[in-house]
Amino acid sequence: MLKLHRDRYLIFYGNFIHIPECFSPLKIVTFVVVIDHNTIQRILDAADITEVISEFVTLRKRGVNLLGLCPFHNEKTPSFTVSPAKGIFKCFGCGKGGNAVNFIMEHESLSYPEALKWLARKYNIDIVEEEESEEQKQQKDERESMMIVSAFAHNYFMRMLWDENEGRTIGLSYFRERGFRDDTLKKFEVGYAPDGKSPFTEVALRQGYKVEFLEKTGLTIKRDDWVRDRFAGRIIFPVHNLAGRVIAFGGRILKKGTQEAKYLNSPESEIYHKSSVLYGLFQAKREMSKVSECYLVEGYTDVLSMHQAGIYNVVASSGTALTVEQIRLIKRFTQNITIIYDGDEAGIKASLRGIDLVLEEGMNVKVLLLPDGEDPDSFARKKGASGFQEYIAANETDFIRFKTKLLLKDTENDPVARARLITDIIRSVAVIPDTITRSVYIKECSTLLNVNEDILYTEVRKQKRKQVETFRRNESSALQRNEPKSKQQNIIVNSGPEDFTTEELEFLRFLLKYCNTVLFETEGERPDEILKISVGEYMIEEIENDNLVSDNELFRQIFNDVKNNMGSSDFNPWKFFIYHHDSRVSSLATDLLSEKFIESKRWAKAGAYTEKEEDILDFLIPRIIYEYKLRKVKIMLTGIEQLISAASLDNDFERVIEEQAKYMNLKKVEKYLSDKLGNRAIN
């Protein structure tokens, strides 16, 4: 049995369900977590949206708001806006918006209760949960189960390194021989997996973790009649996501003379996609934003050594070719990236083509070549922070110049190879989105390659045409594969398939924004009694009296929520709806209250007003109501026309006469409303 007390709320698949005191003691097996209302309110009150989003996005002041690059879609011009005063975010590119909880849900792919718990951990708020039943545990989604298994493995590997004899003797000794301090090792939470066939798996199974999720996370390798640990006998580097949760592991073998791979990584899984992850980003993101620079290296120990040397804005691609997803991760925190190479010229050439992607994203790319025989790990330990920084300042160069000089070595006395080089260099220049930056590089390439600028410009135009043709072909193929897109709504609403008219959206916007604002005063029943009528009271009464509440589900929910809470002295529509338990309502409220809400037809036809809308509510509110009613009347007229046509086909002349009478009455109402609007009925 699950006992609930007064004023307790259950979160059921992301929605609040209030359980009254008289709730019958039924057996409940589908609830995920129980959080009392006061705790939820503490979390929402503590969650500063600027602090939360700054964990993942670099924000810069723009008037009263903050602006950054949207983490949910690819954009080169910032359209992601955060309003600290309203407690909301809104991207005017892809349309996503909401409060701090919505952001964490979307960004970290968490459910509503998981996002609440994430915020609770951030702000040190304790959440007391009821003990889960076996049925509840079975219903945990697969992704969260894998995260839980990864967290268990993470703690197990750390305990093995620091507390067990084998880990200290083998793993810790190796790290110390390499010169790593304990504070560095603990900062990156490294560990050790004991040697043997399956010591980790056996412990995990005894603790109740299912082999299904051990296998899916790649921690255990299972065949028909045996299992074994993937990382046995290796030091462990946990891979964190941006929120700091462990999603994968890298392991380095310490045995000598073995044929096994030196480094082994977790396989792709539901929670880990190596092309979308950078090692060390969780530890580096604040410093990257602070100094507006990112150093990119290759391996785990490169990152650790540079951190230990005092260089904190460093991440690693972990041996994979650089991907667009990884570049966009860096771009959230800085526009500037320096790629650090060791002296392996063949490896550098192999990676050059992928780095064109960085230029295509509009980032500023520099390259640093370390002395022969050095890698970032050894060089950082040898030089320290100041020495490394001095070397960087003296030797880093922009990517185009570096690539040109590197490839020129192979083209001496070979005109064909030189022509290929020019084409290759210009292909990199052509992907740069900024026209001025592109022209600067063309001028520099002209000098380096001793080629006329006009020829290079011609080649750039040729490359740009190829890019456009490729894009059009891809777009055409996509259109042929996909069904036609649905009719675009007046604003981007991430709340489901419901269609809103412009008038419904404007009605809701003014209802939420000015609900408690006094619209006018009137005399009461008692002498000298003055009644103050608010915008919300007036709008609700006007629509209800004419029985014209929209049939749209979300409209009715917001309308009824306002109506039911109007009498409460502490009712704050903004906070109530932005933090609404229904994510569709929360998303719609964010859209409606965002500063860049699309102007209605009323504004476009009436011309620009110089007054602020809050100063002319006595004019605007009645007008909005007339427009809303007129739209409803037009919809009703269309419906009656269809009924008349159908009745005529059925020779039901009594029905035709009845519907025609309704039609004529509605036409009178339409004329009245049109006259009120100055004969500017919106079609």
**89, 288, 558 from 98: Cα distances, Å:** 6, 26, 16
CB atoms within 10 A of CB 237: 26
Residue 134: per-residue pLDDT: 56
Of the ranges 168-182, 415-429, 630-644, the best mean pLDDT one: 168-182
Average pLDDT over residues 473-478: 52
* Cα–Cα distance for residue pair 292/304, rounded to 1 Å: 20
pLDDT for 28 beyond 50:
no
The answer to whether residue 451 is domain-embedded is yes
Average pLDDT over residues 549-567: 85
**241 and 364 housed in the same domain:** no
Using the 3D structure, point to which of 429, 454, 472 is the last residue of a domain: 472
Residue 351: per-residue pLDDT: 67
Residue 426: per-residue pLDDT: 81
**338 and 381 housed in the same domain:** yes
| Packed helices 535-545 and 553-565: angle between N→C axes, nearest 10 degrees | 120
**446 and 385 housed in the same domain:** no
Residue 281: per-residue pLDDT: 92
The answer to whether residue 91 is domain-embedded is no
Task: Tell me which DSSP letter residue 279 carries.
Answer: B
Exposed e or buried b per residue across 617-626, where buried means at least 16 C-beta atoms within 10 angstroms of its C-beta: beebbbbbbb
The answer to whether residue 602 is domain-embedded is yes
Using the 3D structure, point to which of 376, 394, 412 is the last residue of a domain: 394
Lowest mean pLDDT among 13-27, 83-97, 287-301, 626-640: 13-27
Confidence class of residue 205 from pLDDT cuts 50, 70 and 90?
Answer: very high
Answer yes or no: are the C-beta atoms of 682 and 630 closer than 8 Å.
yes
CATH number at residue 232: 3.90.980.10
**605 and 618 housed in the same domain:** yes
Lowest mean pLDDT among 285-289, 405-409, 416-420: 405-409
The answer to whether residue 195 is domain-embedded is yes
Considering only CA atoms, which of 287, 369, 366, 294 is closest in space to residue 327?
Answer: 294
Answer yes or no: are the C-beta atoms of 230 and 219 closer than 8 Å.
yes
**389 and 421 housed in the same domain:** no
**566 and 622 housed in the same domain:** yes
**518 and 666 housed in the same domain:** yes
pLDDT for 114 beyond 70:
yes
683 vs 571 pLDDT, higher one: 571
pLDDT for 38 beyond 70:
no
Contacts of 469 (CB under 8 A, 6+ apart): none
CATH number at residue 305: 3.40.1360.10
pLDDT tens-place string over residues 354-369:
677 888 888 888 888 8
Residue 159: per-residue pLDDT: 95
**Amino acid at residue number 523:** E
Beta-bridge partners for 221: 228
**630 and 510 housed in the same domain:** yes
**530 and 609 housed in the same domain:** yes
Using the 3D structure, point to which of 394, 429, 463 is the last residue of a domain: 394
Answer yes or no: are the C-beta atoms of 283 and 312 closer than 8 Å.
yes
The answer to whether residue 487 is domain-embedded is no
* Cα–Cα distance for residue pair 418/514, rounded to 1 Å: 68
**163 and 184 housed in the same domain:** yes
The answer to whether residue 431 is domain-embedded is yes
**304 and 354 housed in the same domain:** yes
* Cα–Cα distance for residue pair 58/288, rounded to 1 Å: 9
Residue 249: per-residue pLDDT: 95
* Cα–Cα distance for residue pair 589/583, rounded to 1 Å: 10
Residue 324, domain extent: 292-394
Residue 87: per-residue pLDDT: 80
pLDDT for 219 beyond 90:
yes
pLDDT tens-place string over residues 419-433:
877 888 888 888 787
Q: Please give the tally of structural domains in the chain.
A: 4
The answer to whether residue 101 is domain-embedded is no
Average pLDDT over residues 1-20: 37
* Cα–Cα distance for residue pair 193/156, rounded to 1 Å: 8
**247 and 332 housed in the same domain:** no
pLDDT tens-place string over residues 480-519:
544 333 333 333 343 333 467 888 888 888 888 888 888 8
Predicted TM-score of the model (pTM): 0.58
